[in-house]
Structure 1
């Protein structure tokens, strides 16, 4: 409000200088130029402030990334697939054991979901619904966890249980001893590929 009052006072002063004829043309022009310059500076500051506010809303803090919109083109994902962080996900309604589910994903040019980041895990937990889907994590004969793409598991999260095939529960990752356990499955892949996520049933 001070800025507005100050601005109004300057305009009134310039108008009074002009009306009273107490000033030369140069003094009058200086006053008008100063007002115009201040107006332009104020406008530039407001525009900068608005742009910075918009950019802040577009970038998400890591602690709240799950609630942020993802700005990516979903045109690279096939219909029925959900794009997130450069991958396309398909949440299957079919049930099958881990091997069946992985083979089903492979037939679509994808694999069971590989979870690289905490954001990926939060995304799948949010979209999996009430099912407990298989993920692309399996314990090898050397007793180490590996993803279906061959990379070693980096212990990003705890896998509960001592079985060989990993699946998601409501809030965690668990394992099943039985390759015959039937689950639905989410699959994931990079754009232009496909993947599904199945879930284990009958635990």
Structure 2
């Protein structure tokens, strides 16, 4: 009871040995097989359950193998693209009208903003407000600022407990140029560097790392 026999059922064996009076064995065979089918349909055979479980297991294994097969080439392609973007510092360039500043790029934005808003916009370009590390970088920025009559926020500020002049990355200012001290945020203009209230609206200079071509 409870299992589906794989051998011929008794009715089928009887039909094969004891034909009907009219010799119509086919009806008996058909009836016997129908009884067997109905018995299996009413109560699933354990063998059928095992085969179905095995079939789903095979499908799962094939799916995992296919996923691995098609995912590894994409990972390799990403690695290859990253490797192709590696270059020496001297080969790096500035794109989209940004100008070179040593190993960095800078851009003068003519959009009146507070110091914090200017910093946030620079960060949207994967950069920060302008910073100079030596006299050459300072002179390069000053030469571009002197062309116009505008004032530009740079990264210098003393919005800290010690009231020290620092850059946006936290490094201390090396006093390459005297700052006319009137506020907590510094800006650059044609005559030098001054500081005013951070909420005032000015243009600004962003700086970011140069890129491989």
Query: Which category of TM-score, normalised to the shorter sequence, fits these structures?
Result: 0.5 to 0.7
SS in structure 2 at match of 1:94:
strand
The correspondence of residues 15-164 of structure 1 with structure 2, limited to 5 A, is 76-128=93-145, 129-139=148-158, 140-164=160-184
Instruction: Count residues in correspondence.
Output: 121
Q: Which is higher, the Rg of structure 1 or of structure 2?
A: 2
Structure 2 unaligned segments of length 5 or more: list them: 1-88
TM-score, with structure 1 as normaliser: 0.55
The correspondence of residues 163-202 of structure 1 with structure 2, limited to 5 A, is 163-176=183-196, 178-192=197-211
Structure 1 unaligned segments of length 5 or more: list them: 1-71, 194-203
Q: Is contact 1:132-1:169 (8 Å) kept?
A: yes
Q: What is the aligned-residue RMSD (CA, Å)?
A: 1.9
Runs (4 or more) in structure 1 with deviation over 4 Å come to: 72-75
Alpha-carbon distance between aligned partners in 2 of 1:91 and 1:123, rounded to the nearest angstrom: 12
Q: Is contact 1:74-1:83 (8 Å) kept?
A: no
Q: Is contact 2:103-2:210 (8 Å) kept?
A: yes
